[in-house]
Chain A
Amino acid sequence: MKHTISVLLQNKPGVLSRVTGLFSGRGFNIESLSVAETLDSSISCLTLVTRGDEAIIEQITKQLHKLIDVIKVTDIGDSEYVEREMVLIRVKAEAQTRAEVLRVVDIFRGKVVDVSPKSYAVEVTGSTSKVQAIIDILKPLGIQEIVRTGTIAMARASKK
């Protein structure tokens, strides 16, 4: 089962290595990882996507919590949540395919962020499956390079 886990941690040197070292040392796997400062610059928020059965996810959250620099661990999948990932794709765009690329980007509500005579760089944001979908569609047209951010996620606010 795929799980998205959000970790608040102290923004100190080496703290990311404590988290990744925990995963490699205990044989847990990381599918994606994204980290940046929160409003409070002394605290970072790390979102990671991992896979495992219930027992493994329980161990992962407990082990993360045991790290001294970790403030809070939330298995986001426990509640309703929104997740987003951004991808930058450089795709071949020559005379016969330029229009087709633009159409696809438009369908996915993406943006062209860089143009050259032979290629476009496009930006698309969405769930991991949407990002994967545009990659699959553009692949036959000739993708030259892609960079993905990995998932970030946030629990939805209570509706009451």
Chain B
Amino acid sequence: MDKINGSQAIIRCLQEEGVKIIFGFPGGAIIDLFDALMDSDITNVLVRHEQGAVHAADGLARVTGEVGVALLTSGPGATNGVTAIATAYCDSIPMVILTGQVPTPLIGNDAFQEVDIVGITRPCTKHNYLVKDAKDLVPTLREAFHIARTGRPGPVLVDLPKDVVAKMIDFPEKKPIRMQTYQPNYEPHQGQIEKACKKILKAKNPVLYVGGGVILSNAHEELTELARKLNIPVTMTLMGLGGFPGTDPLSMGMLGMHGSYAANMAVANCDLLIAVGARFDDRVTGRLDAFAPHATIIHIDIDPTSISKNVKVDIPIVADCKHALTAMNTWFNTSSDFNREQVAASHEPWRATIDGWATKHPMTYIDEGEIIKPQFVIQKLDELTHGDAIITTEVGQNQMWAAQFYKFNKPRQWATSGGLGTMGYGLPAAIGAKMAFPDKTVVDVAGDGSIQMNIQELATAKQYKCPVKVVILNNNYLGMVRQWQELFYNKRYAGTVMDVTPDFVMLAQAYGAVGLRATKTSEVEAVLKEALATDNTVIMDFVIAREECVFPMVPAGKATTEMLLV
């Protein structure tokens, strides 16, 4: 075996795992790794803030399904990454975060740029490690990738003291990883599958409720097959968008707080709810006792803790969504009890009821002539990109309008901070996505508030010739909180008025990007077209109807049928 130093061994591990791009920001404790990185074929993207590095790696992971990798230094470098690590944790995104640490003799001495990052990130990583012995480096790295990408994926942090990565070590051969304490269950229990399938055959008003697990396990084809085979209407969570074609007649769109009227009414009235890779989040369920009150609930999830956490489940199936859906499709394909035409026909009255709801209250907005409506901007964006762009978002109204009005037909074209709701996610995530797929159109849908949280990454986009497009829906407010204040706090706009925002056109130009602005509805299309045709990073500043609200809206703590409508 050849001797190499710890840093070189780590880089070799990354290559072994197929890592092509990493996002990082250097510092004293991590210089050795950056040094070793220079001799490899891995692209090292220098971000402008560590939060951006981790979000960019997260964006790359969401659109490719690969493990995203970020490289940060000790102390403030590591803590700056924490928000982004928590973001990935909440949405189960496979990532490995490598952090530098002070040399082992100094650990615990309050050394310069020392922080207990393993302690800090324990509750927001799937697992984490402090490597104290150089011979553990390679096995730990391999285990970290294994844990990050298997089971319910998630971020894994490896803390690397400066003296440990400088030591000379043998590079051990790769062996299959077997962990005594970690063996996620992929295969469904056949008895549960049969029980679920029989229940589905008996249902008159079934609904498929699809979450991010379908995207993570690449189960969209199996899901689509099941829904079409049995003629079952489908609703998706924010994280599940793209898991089923948004333009399919069976799609009811998103459910929950800002979901469609039809989807929320369907869930409230269904007799069978089939939850696939979803976790009954409070933004989906609203008041718990009024959520799917008449339904038998089937729940497929690889994480046993998700099952019966918020809502009591009747038929749990602990398995990978893809495996479970495949098993269900096989059951229906081979069962003599299943008559496709008959089942499809039996669901027609239910579908007609749902179509009635959709017609009565479609996803819509009020046209105000030349005052730009944000929903119109997203619709135009959808039209001009043929629903085929990768869309990332910031958090707030911009995110909800993007979710409501862009028609996602494919998985992995949508990256948004769902669980944690992290403002500042969209721009770095767009850079990560664009680095992974340079030929795809990547658009960050942003608000004027959230774009400013990681606006410095425009420099990263420029440095790496990463022509992402940013749509700012500019209302000079922190719009979602303002909306709550309008509706529930007597219009007292405490802390939500952005009296001063930068001139985004000039700001874009300052970074060497292109800035465009539309102040009238008639200018929207031209601005979008120009931006999409420009081979440069572009900021589009759309000055929108200032007090536009996101509707439908289920007020927090209300039943999902108690929607405020347009």
Give residues in A with beta carbon < 8 Å to B: 9-10, 13-14, 17-18, 21-22, 25, 55, 58-59, 62-63, 65-66, 68-71
Contacts and interface: CB of A to CB of B under 8 A. Distances in A.
Interface in B109-131: 118-119, 122-123, 126-127, 130
B336 interface: no
Given A10-B181, A14-B119, A17-B119, A68 B126 contact: yes
B146 to A, nearest CB: 11
24 contacts: A14-B118, A14-B119, A14-B122, A14-B130, A18-B122, A21-B123, A22-B123, A25-B123, A55-B312, A58-B308, A59-B305, A62-B304, A65-B304, A66-B304, A66-B305, A68-B127, A68-B147, A68-B179, A68-B181, A68-B182, A69-B181, A70-B181, A71-B180, A71-B181
Kindly name the residue among B179, B303, B305 whose own CB sees the greatest number of chain A CB atoms within 10 A: B305
Interface residues of B, number: 18
A21 B122 contact: yes
Nearest to B305: A62
A59 B303 contact: no
Interface in B280-326: 303-305, 308-309, 312
A101 B168 CA distance: 65
A107 to B, nearest CB: 45
A105 B181 CA distance: 44
A63 B305 contact: yes
Contacts of B119: 14, 17
A65 B122 CA distance: 16
Interface string B127-167: 10010000000000000000100000000000000000000
A67 B147 CA distance: 11
A59 B482 CA distance: 36
Contacts of A62: 304-305
The A interface is mostly helix, strand or loop, or mixed, namely helix
Kindly name the residue among B130, B179, B181 whose own CB sees the greatest number of chain A CB atoms within 10 A: B181
B122 A55 contact: no
A9 B309 CA distance: 24
Contacts of A71: 180-181
Contacts of B127: 68
Contacts of A59: 305, 309
Contacts of B308: 55, 58
B290 to A, nearest CB: 19
A106 B309 CA distance: 49
A68 B130 CA distance: 15
Interface in B181-236: 181-182
Contacts of A22: 123
A129 B181 CA distance: 35
A25 B121 CA distance: 12
Query: What 4 pairs between A and B have smallest CB-CB spacing?
Result: A68-B127, A62-B305, A62-B304, A25-B123
Contacts of B309: 59
A68 B308 CA distance: 21
Given A17-B122, A59-B305, A62-B305, 5 more contacts: A14-B122, A18-B122, A58-B308, A66-B305, A71-B180
Contacts of A13: 130
A21 B304 CA distance: 19
Contacts of B180: 71
A57 to B, nearest CB: 12
Kindly name the residue among B118, B179, B304 whose own CB sees the greatest number of chain A CB atoms within 10 A: B304
Nearest to A25: B123
A67 B141 CA distance: 18
A125 to B, nearest CB: 32
A62 B181 CA distance: 14
Contact of A66 (B118, B123, B303): B303
B119 to A, nearest CB: 7
A81 to B, nearest CB: 24
Contacts of A9: 181
B120 to A, nearest CB: 11
Nearest to B182: A68
